[in-house]
Amino acid sequence: MSETNYTTEVEILIRATVHPGDPGVHTFANGDPGYPPTGPEADDFKIYAVDEDGNEHEIPDELVKALFPAEAIDWNHVEERIIDRWETEQG
């Protein structure tokens, strides 16, 4: 029995929900101190494989965990990149 290995490149797309954060309040109208701003956050990450026709196919969470162990991906860096792109698109 012969074995044949096939190799192909797959484009991976990561989508996330971005929450814009809160601009904060320096001082309330009654003079009370406000609260500091919070920056944007990303969550609800979904990973897609993109085929040669540009169609996106969501990869189930179980398969993502098998293909990309938690220590193999710096999710903080991924979140930063997504937020940077989101901020750029916001102008």
Q: How confident is the model at residue 1 (pLDDT cuts 50, 70, 90)?
A: low
**Residue at 71 is within a domain:** yes
Residue type at 78 in one-letter notation: V
For residue 54, give both structure tokens: 């540009």
C-beta separation of 32 from 75 below 8 A: no
Higher-pLDDT residue of 37 and 4 is 37
**Better-scored residue on pLDDT, 11 or 1:** 11
pTM: 0.68
* Number of domains the chain is built from: 1
In the predicted structure, residue 8 carries a pLDDT above the cut 80: no
In a domain, 6, yes or no: no
Structure confidence by residue, pLDDT tens digits, 17-69: 999 999 999 999 999 999 999 999 999 989 999 988 889 999 998 888 888 77
Distances in Å between the alpha carbon of 14 and those of 5, 31, 54, 83? 27, 44, 14, 12
Answer yes or no: is 4 within a domain.
Answer: no
